Structure 1
């Protein structure tokens, strides 16, 4: 449990006084039957995923791998393990949230896994103090992964079906097609969002910026 927290600290680099999660809480989740899984490589934990039981089935709260194994499909392996774990317990739906403006995450969740958009959550977590999220609003897209569906089963078998999820995008914005480089496991490359109607405004910020789709608002954020 302590090593899992150290993995999360290496990935998100939170304020030392405000950890993402504590070993004691992980102990409770594991003991009560939630999904608490570490990824081991050469005797060292390099990835971690926590999911807890929810009304929809299983909610995957946090997952990450450190830089030493980025681009090696470890995240995909974790989601397939999570799917098998859930199905063995008669759970057929997994939900989670992600930042839809990070193109590699959108590609991974919606296209590679076949999860479908369920709800747009404005500033869901509020202000966060870790280095990855600090200084940005935390709008998230909630997705549902139907584990017995055609796309999820095909993805597990290595033959994913075309995803129908793009037809359910919010009316204010349309989904984008990732550059071919986004299909690489490393997620290298970027994608350019395409908009229905006038694009949202952008404001001047220090460092990289990206447009924000919700209600035509402005936002600056770090990649």
Structure 2
């Protein structure tokens, strides 16, 4: 199968008007409690899935970073204390070395596309570097292309490993939609420079079937090229559950296989409305 051709302009920059905001370290327990509502607004979490403010409070005095984003309003305007975004992480040992693991990055739907997610992540980077830590990890759902664009293209991080069923999001293992995640590694010492999505070039390990079903084609696990491509639906959240599950399992097979064979995911390429993970052999990207 040959790689698609195109200009790489499938993911377009936000057209939302700029809105002023401020990002602050959150230390007050009641302000942390307000951050619980951001998680519900961002992901529709039930109560049992929300990270409680008590955990943020404990972490904040043990080396953790808790950041809140608020609209820039006059001091006497109470809406200025209503958070619209948060970043939360804590020190962690990875391979015997001290890293920072970012557990949460949440932005209220009204503020998506405003640049707030990148601003929160860069402020978190500054806080972590000030602690003398040079690496950050986090996980994201490989089915969410907009998050892949943020993590890989806008921040310049890379995905290093695939984890099936990272979370249990239902009491019934068989009924639950698999909560697979990619693990991200971010070198905080590298200068930050957002890059546009490239056009897809490489051998295709996974792509949509050449019909109107929107289903994934059979994965190709025999490739050995320097650069490979794995398609991901641009808006998987709009698909029905059976179709999303097909893509989940196809990406699990492809990404899990190749990341276990010495590849890493370093970018998200675009060809019109189609987007592709770019897999490169470690040490060659």
Give the TM-score, by structure 2 length: 0.55
List alignment gaps of at least 5 residues for structure 1. 177-191, 217-223
Pairing 1:101–2:143 present: yes
CA apart distance, 1:108: 1.3
Pairing 1:147–2:188 present: yes
- Of 98, 113, 118, 1:76 maps to 118
Change (3 A) 1:174 1:89: farther
- Of 20, 30, 46, 2:84 maps to 46
Change (3 A) 1:94 1:161: farther
* 1-structure distance, mates of 2:110, 2:52: 23
Change (3 A) 1:172 1:36: farther
CA RMSD between the two structures: 3.5
Indicate if the aligned counterparts of 1:172 and 1:213 stay in contact, CA closer than 8 A: no
**Secondary structure at the counterpart of residue 46 of structure 2:** coil
Aligned length: 181
**Secondary structure at the counterpart of residue 27 of structure 1:** helix
* 2-structure distance, mates of 1:172, 1:214: 15
- Of 129, 134, 139, 1:87 maps to 129
Which structure: larger Rg?
A: 2
List alignment gaps of at least 5 residues for structure 2. 1-31, 74-79, 209-214, 222-229, 232-238, 255-285
Indicate if the aligned counterparts of 1:9 and 1:19 stay in contact, CA closer than 8 A: no
Pairing 1:12–2:21 present: no
Change (3 A) 1:30 1:126: same
* 2-structure distance, mates of 1:135, 1:54: 29
* 1-structure distance, mates of 2:196, 2:93: 27
Using CA pairs below 8 Å that are at least 6 residues apart, which structure has the higher relative contact order?
2
Counterpart position of 1:28: 58
Counterpart position of 2:243: 209
* 2-structure distance, mates of 1:10, 1:123: 24
Aligned pairs for 1:189-204 (under 5 A) are: 197=220
Give the TM-score, by structure 1 length: 0.69
Aligned pairs for 1:54-65 (under 5 A) are: 54-56=92-94, 57-65=99-107
